[in-house]
Amino acid sequence: MFPRNNFDVDREAGTRQIYHRYCIERAAVNMAHIFTTVSEITGLEAEHLLKRKPDILTPNGLNVVKFAALHEFQNLHAVAKEKIHDFIRGHFYGHYDFDLDKTIYLFTAGRYEFTNKGGDFFIEALARLNHYLKVEARDFTVLGGSDFEYNISLRINRSNCTNVNVRRLESDALSDATFSNFLFESY
């Protein structure tokens, strides 16, 4: 439960040196005609931190309910996983070789707000997983991690591109499908 009574939002924002951002966000929320969040939890946070209850909840994420049968979802999963394999082969093979069947894929995607969106926690968790797998001598490759051998952090964010990376294009030539198309296509 959210600590309602003993949490001074203004003081906490000041302590974290984000008071100016907090004030702008609170003002924007309270001036908006319609205010929406992505979950009940973020709605409760907004109600207590920003002093406004959301008008509408607009959940995000993959809606697996829309697939009529489980096998349809499993088929889509297999197709998507093969696209990821193609991307990994094109991007890493020749530089790093590993068994794709013994690879755990961990991704995070979203706006580039490293600490706000959990990028720092993601990398820390992967570093801990990497350490655990080394200690336990597990035969897996973790794609997504810190700068340990065979571990690569895959944090995917949309951003502007100002030039063409020729080496990346050459790597993509090994793959029929690019990973970025897979990520943002709708099923």
By DSSP bridging, strand 108-109 and strand 155-156 are parallel
- In a domain, residue 2? The reply is no
Q: What are the φ/ψ torsions at residue 103 (nearest 5 degrees)?
A: -115, 135
- Amino acid letter for position 60: N
- In a domain, residue 138? The reply is yes
pTM, two decimals, is 0.43
Domain hosting 172: range is 64-184
Same domain, 72 and 52: no
- In a domain, residue 23? The reply is yes
Token pair for 163: 């030039």
22: nearest Cα among 31, 11, 33: 11
- Domain count for the chain: 2
- Cα–Cα distances in angstroms (integers) from residue 96 to residues 25, 93, 99, 126, 135, in the given order: 44, 5, 10, 18, 22
- Amino acid letter for position 33: H
Same domain, 115 and 172: yes
pLDDT tens across 23-33, in order?
A: 999 999 999 99
pLDDT tens across 43-89, in order?
A: 999 999 999 999 998 876 555 555 556 677 778 888 888 888 888 88
Same domain, 90 and 30: no
Same domain, 28 and 78: no
Same domain, 78 and 157: yes
pLDDT at 148 over 80: no
Same domain, 161 and 180: yes
Same domain, 116 and 180: yes
